[in-house]
Amino acid sequence: MRAPRRRCRPAAYRWCARSGAVRPAAGDAASRSLVAHLTEREDMTGPEGITKSEDDGADHLYRVRHSFAHVMAEAVLELFPDAKLAIGPPIADGFYYDFDLPRPLTPDDLEDVERRMRRIAAGDHRFVRSVIDREDAVQRFADQPYKLELIDNLAQDDEISLFTQDTFTDLCRGPHVGSTRQLNPAAFKLTGSAGAYWRGDERRPMLQRIYGTAWDSEEELAAHLERLAEIERRDHRRVGRELDLFSIQEQVGPGLIFWHPKGARLRSIIEEFWKQRHYAGGYELVNTPHVGREWLWQTSGHLDFYAGNMFPPMELDNSRYYLKPMNCPFHIMIYKSAIRSYRDLPLRWAELGTVYRFERSGTLHGALRVRGLTQDDAHLFCTPDQVEDEIDEVLRFSLSLWHTYGFTDLVAYLATRPEKSVGDDASWERATASLRRAIEAHGLPYEMDEGGGAFYGPKIDLHLRDPLGRLWQMTTIQFDFNLPERFDMWFADRDGSQQRPFMVHRALHGSFERFLGVLIEHYGGAFPMWLAPVQAVVIPVNPKAFPYAGKVAARLGEHGFRADADLSDNRMNAKIRTAQGQKVPYMIVVGAREEESDTLSLRTRDGTQTQGLEFAACVELFRRQVDERS
């Protein structure tokens, strides 16, 4: 199964959060009219223009950020008079501007630019809009090749407008604030620089992009920086190391994850839950090899359409074997191992299938973008008239899983035919329409991802929004009217004729590596009771209580809980501190008092304590939390 494209790059959940605002679900038409509306209002705003009206908070920030981008360009031009300017849009939380500069930017340059911006923003420079005709524009930007290209791409009847503030004039559609007086010089910050291809095309020049964030007040800026710090604290790479969940080892290879005992415990809990739900949901589990002969990948089309993402072949016994990048051909081979009747369909086969894909080195990112991943993959084989129900059911199944993990904010993307693809247009359209009906039936908000489908069919991707507002691409449901054809799959229909089955690929978590990484960040390592690798640590108040602490941990183990006793020679306070740092849900403190009365003192992660709790009551409390998955 092919991975969904774009939107949530591995390396870039933050980018996703940003881009969310740049490409609003409202679509282009809506944002265009919004722009028109704002431009109109801009004209009514005098030089002393109002800072903000009650009803345009979001639009106001959009203008502030857009204006800061221009201020930044002015500052960069002061520093590099020969800089070539590309584009400088506002994005969620801030802005950026792309420059073609004579030398790489250093951190000192950024500080310099920031100082200059502060000076400019502290002044009172009006943003003045003017309209010029095409010839004047071409002349004006004669030494700005990127601007010329932008002008060239404007439709013949588009108005060409400029915005000028202070010494700087830019080709720009607007809107902007009335004056730099409306920019708070203390409420912005440059957040970094990075390379970026002109127009996002790797065949075109690499520009230098400077990112910044901008707000109305210092408090809002501080709150935003605090949010970034929280994201940093929750980073799955950091938490994964601190809680000893997983590692990546340079000597072994990049993009390959080692799950340590606690991480593997978490993974195993989720696998068990996953298996149980699949059996209950009418699936059968299958297991298939990790390599297959060239024939398989030739037949499937992977060598024609996906070879760039596959590990190179291994030669043995005069055959070429390939490590599998997807599970589907193997599941098809199981289908073809017997003659199937319409009475057998639908068949729903799931596998936790570990696949290997060659991902470019620059894209690898912790557990979220790796080269070896385990997909919670399944393939549905059905008759043509069953397919809509099947897709509908898969969506329902997926949504129920996400709700269990506490993700409720979901956005769907409907991906259509890519350039490199197989099949006739009519089939693509029919399949796309049925996916759309399924999304609509579940009332999910969705966006189109034009050309983002797999080579063998259109697909639905589900993205999750976590508590920090970041989007994650996880579930994918893909229609396939190609592989059944290529493998000449058929079933015996009611009338005895041979009919082609329909096929749907789906992965709900996506990959376990990514899913666990997201889950780690979602909970910041403070897992709910049912997922916590260690659910309770028993802490003796002094060495005398060691034997009893061991006994309590063992008794909890007998009741099916994951409990450790901390019998190190640290003081009790140190043990509490350690358990707290490990984000263990419960600390159980025991001493002579507890031993005499068969009770315990329960301390939760948030520091609240219950003394004198009876052992049986503790077991009941734990059990309820595990059962409720809370």
Q: Tokens 């329902």 — which residue? A: 396
Tokens of 20: 């969310």
Nearer of residues 34 and 364 to RNA, judged by Cβ: 364
The vertex-615 CA angle with 614 and 618, nearest 5°, equals: 90
Nearer of residues 296 and 367 to RNA, judged by Cβ: 367
Tokens of 515: 């899913």
For the question of residue 375 being annotated catalytic, the response is yes
- Active-site residue among 8, 16, 172, 328? 328
Q: How far is the CB of 204 from RNA (least distance, A)?
A: 9
For the question of residue 379 being annotated catalytic, the response is yes
Element (H, E) at 604: strand 599-604
Nearer of residues 77 and 526 to RNA, judged by Cβ: 526
For the question of residue 505 being annotated catalytic, the response is yes
State in Å, rounded, how far the first CA of the chain is from the last one.
Answer: 33
Nearer of residues 141 and 413 to RNA, judged by Cβ: 413
Of 450, 398, 395, whose CA–CA distance to 428 is shortest? 450
Q: How far is the CB of 482 from RNA (least distance, A)?
A: 14
Q: How far is the CB of 449 from RNA (least distance, A)?
A: 10
- Active-site residue among 459, 509, 562, 575? 459
- Active-site residue among 357, 365, 470, 583? 357
For CA atoms 356, 362, 363, 364, the dihedral sign is positive
Tokens of 475: 């579930």
Q: Can you tell me the distance from the alpha carbon of 212 to that of 96, in angstroms, rounded to the nearest whole number? A: 6
Contact 511, 267 (CB under 8 A): no
Measured CA distances, 630 to 291, 387, 404, 606 (Å): 40, 35, 9, 15
Q: How far is the CB of 186 from RNA (least distance, A)?
A: 24
Sheet order of strands, 291-293 included: 291-293, 319-323, 314-316
Q: How far is the CB of 346 from RNA (least distance, A)?
A: 22
Contact 415, 452 (CB under 8 A): yes
Q: Can you tell me the distance from the alpha carbon of 100 to that of 287, in angstroms, rounded to the nearest whole number? A: 52
Residue type at position 73: A
**E strands, 154-256, in order:** 160-165, 168-171, 188-197, 206-214, 246-248
Q: Can you tell me the distance from the alpha carbon of 222 to that of 316, in angstroms, rounded to the nearest whole number? A: 60
Nearer of residues 35 and 572 to RNA, judged by Cβ: 572
For the question of residue 559 being annotated catalytic, the response is no
Angle between helices 57-79 and 28-44 (to 10 degrees): 80
For the question of residue 403 being annotated catalytic, the response is no
Q: How far is the CB of 280 from RNA (least distance, A)?
A: 24
Q: How far is the CB of 354 from RNA (least distance, A)?
A: 11
Q: Can you tell me the distance from the alpha carbon of 403 to that of 421, in angstroms, rounded to the nearest whole number? A: 34
Q: Can you tell me the distance from the alpha carbon of 411 to that of 430, in angstroms, rounded to the nearest whole number? A: 22
Of 225, 208, 11, whose CA–CA distance to 110 is shortest? 208
Tokens of 273: 């839950």
For the question of residue 459 being annotated catalytic, the response is yes
Nearer of residues 463 and 562 to RNA, judged by Cβ: 463
Q: How far is the CB of 518 from RNA (least distance, A)?
A: 9
Nearer of residues 15 and 273 to RNA, judged by Cβ: 15
- Active-site residue among 377, 466, 564, 566? 377
Tokens of 532: 């916590």
Task: Give the residue numbers annotated as catalytic, written as ranges.
Answer: 328, 357, 375, 377, 379, 459, 505
